Homo-oligomer: A and B are copies of this chain.
Amino acid sequence: MKTFRTTIRVRYCETDKMGVVHHSNYVKYCEIARWETFRHLGTSCKELEDKGYFFPVISMNFQFIKPALYDDEIEIITKLKELKGAKMFLEYELYNKNNELINKAETTLAIVKQENMLPCKPPLEIKKLFEM
């Protein structure tokens, strides 16, 4: 299974009054991580969108294990788990600087044509990624 490591740094605006990262931002972190993984493996979300595809999230699941703080560097390991019909299954593990697992997530993305927003055959670029 193909995996890739992305690092992000927590922004001030991503914290909330509890003093930690607001839980909605992990959704954004995983979005960044998956497209950086795609880019690293040879294509990109932008390139694929330019070819007429969109990749809406159809389900997501997050486990919050430890909080992240402002200015923390977080390493995100993205796993391209499975491509099945017009669906991509991805998994994420987020680690802090002490190498502690702080978050686990799963997202399922649909592959759709922009012209009709309907599920479609995955483009070759995506097939390749999942076969690596």
A interface list, Cβ under 8 A from B? 11-13, 15-20, 22-25, 27-28, 31-32, 35, 44-46, 49, 54, 56-64, 67, 70-71
For the complex, what is the distance from the CA of A56 to the CA of B67, rounded to whole Å?
A: 9
Q: How many copies does the complex hold?
A: 4
Known contacts A56-B23, A71-B45; is A16 also within 8 Å of B18 by CB? no
Tell me whether A18 and B71 are in contact (CB under 8 A): no
For the complex, what is the distance from the CA of A46 to the CA of B71, rounded to whole Å?
A: 7
Tell me whether B56 and A70 are in contact (CB under 8 A): no
Tell me whether B63 and A12 are in contact (CB under 8 A): no
For the complex, what is the distance from the CA of A15 to the CA of B17, rounded to whole Å?
A: 6
Q: How far is the CB of A47 from chain B (nearest CB, A)?
A: 9
Tell me whether A58 and B67 are in contact (CB under 8 A): no
Tell me whether A23 and B60 are in contact (CB under 8 A): yes
User: In the assembled complex, which residues on chain B have CB atoms less than 8 Å from the CB atom of A54?
Assistant: 18
User: In the assembled complex, which residues on chain B have CB atoms less than 8 Å from the CB atom of A46?
Assistant: 70-71
Of the candidates B12, B17, B62, which one forms a contact with A12 in the assembled complex, judged by CB atoms under 8 Å apart?
B17
